[in-house]
Amino acid sequence: MKTNSSQNKVKSKKERSFIDEKLRKIPIKKLSKQSGFCRRKPRKIKPKELIIAFIQTICTSKKNTYSNWASQLGILINSTVSKQAVSKRITESLVIFLKALLKAIMEESLKSRISDNISEKLKLFKGVLIEDSTTIKLDDKLSKEYPGNKNWTQKDYAVLKIQSVYDILKRKFLRFEITNFRRNDQGYSGNILEIAKPGDLIIRDLGYFVLGVFKKLLQQEIYFISRLRKDVNIYTVEEKPIDLASMLKKRGSLDIEVFAGEEDKLPMRLVAIPVDNKVAEQRRRKAKQDRDRRVNPSKKHLFLLGWNIFITNVEQEKLSSDEIAILYLIRWRIEIIYKSWKSHLRITNIPVRANKLRVESFIYCLLVFILLFQVHFYEYYLRKQRASNAQGISLLKLMLFIVNNINFHY
């Protein structure tokens, strides 16, 4: 689509100047050639302009279509671009290029550390890694590429899963990976060993609980905090079985050394802290509602829902039991980030009839956008807020404002 709108040209120049600044240190041409996306010098549609046009499409249009993408690209290069021309660029080599670009942006962003105030307790660790995943429902025709669990009708459906690791200290994403729903968090648990280093602290939920992975973390002197899975046996240092419910009835709370696992008997620290009665009752109601119809939750399990029960290898000298509980709560940050993706960055706005290449191109392009803009803007806002002692707003509200006003702030 060709446009002579001077207003659009002015906006386009402003947007490009900001985007170019963020992409300046990334070797886009080199990556596009290495991936096979550009075997020769592109005559019209260059990799950077294709990405910028995608970002503008996401921020200015409710529909992620080839036509809208082509329109934004036409504005950028001041020429006519058809939707067919954009469609032809959605290839396997584009996905490879976008993966390489995403990795390069993450590596570049990690060269600088945020120097503002960080909790003294977090500074005890070299890195504080939060790992979590989020899912996106796709068109059912993609169920072979992205299989989900069969529903009650035994119909196959498609679900894409994004696995990510976020470093709280650097406030940077260390990894993104697209998988299918059936590769669950437990099966993915060991992958953290590829990026975690001695002295790091890993915080993950129960989905990643694997004793074999904890064993390797212990061996490599990597710290972790996790909730205790209810079916895992624990033992005293004398290797006698522990009845947690009985012990908590007597003591009320715990901070003790234990062995975890019937076979492995891994040395760990167990922390149990009572929760508010309202929280406990809410958990118990949910357990009864969500239970397998063939199995009633036991009295013991319902009783233990009155406590937050953690296992960790962080020494008491470093973190008290209350501090363990507080640090575990920082997991909500990545959940808020995911919510902002879905609510305001339209990561679920995938065309219904998209094929696998279109889906992955869309997701990786959007993750590039998230790394360049969400993290950048939020960090800039936090620094300004701290400098002026102003009252803060939530990440969700900030991202809503940015998306609604993106053309006027670049």
Q: What is the pLDDT of residues 328-341, one digit of tens each?
A: 888 876 777 777 77
CA distance 32 to 49: 13
| Residue 389 pLDDT grade (very low, low, confident, very high; cuts 50, 70, 90) | low
Closest of 308, 348, 347 to residue 328, by C-alpha? 308
pLDDT exceeds 70 at position 19: no
pLDDT exceeds 90 at position 210: yes
201 contact partners, CB below 8 Å, separation of at least 6: 125, 127, 128, 129, 222, 223, 224, 225, 314, 327
34 contact partners, CB below 8 Å, separation of at least 6: 100
Place of tokens 């003790």: 256
pLDDT exceeds 60 at position 14: no
Both structure tokens of 197? 């280093």
What is the DSSP code (8-state) at residue 207?
G
**Is residue 52 within 8 Å of 26, Cβ to Cβ?**
no
What is the DSSP code (8-state) at residue 170?
T
Instruction: Report yes or no on whether pTM surpasses 0.85.
Output: no
CA distance 178 to 41: 30
Both structure tokens of 307? 């406590």
| E strand or H helix that includes residue 51 | helix 47-60
**pLDDT, average across residues 379-405:** 63
Q: How many CB atoms are closer than 10 A to CB 38?
A: 21
Q: Where are the domains of the chain?
A: 6-109+357-408, 118-227+317-343, 228-312
CA distance 270 to 228: 8
pLDDT exceeds 70 at position 390: no
Closest of 199, 274, 217 to residue 244, by C-alpha? 274
pLDDT tens per residue, range 226-235? 999 988 999 9
Specify the CATH architecture of the domain 118-227+317-343.
2-Layer Sandwich (3.30)
DSSP-derived 3-state class of residue 45 = coil
How far from chain centre, in Å, is Cα 186? Answer: 16
pLDDT tens per residue, range 257-279? 999 999 989 999 999 999 999 99
What is the DSSP code (8-state) at residue 298?
P
Backbone angles phi, psi at 20, to 5 degrees: -60, -40
Instruction: Tell me what the pLDDT averaged over the chain comes to.
Output: 81
How far from chain centre, in Å, is Cα 262? Answer: 33
- Going through 139-283 in order, the beta strands assigned E by DSSP cover 158-167, 172-180, 201-203, 223-227, 234-235, 254-260, 266-274
**Is residue 125 within 8 Å of 200, Cβ to Cβ?**
yes
Write down the H helix ranges in 65-207. 66-77, 83-88, 92-109, 185-188
CA distance 76 to 14: 11
CA distance 65 to 7: 23
Beta-sheet strand order (sheet of 234-235):
172-180, 158-167, 128-138, 201-203, 223-227, 307-312, 266-274, 254-260, 234-235
63 contact partners, CB below 8 Å, separation of at least 6: 349
For strand 234-235 and strand 158-167, is the pairing parallel, antiparallel, or unpaired? unpaired
Q: What is the pLDDT of residue 39?
A: 78
| Residue 13 pLDDT grade (very low, low, confident, very high; cuts 50, 70, 90) | very low
**Is residue 224 within 8 Å of 201, Cβ to Cβ?**
yes
For strand 254-260 and strand 158-167, is the pairing parallel, antiparallel, or unpaired? unpaired
pLDDT exceeds 90 at position 410: no
pLDDT exceeds 90 at position 311: yes
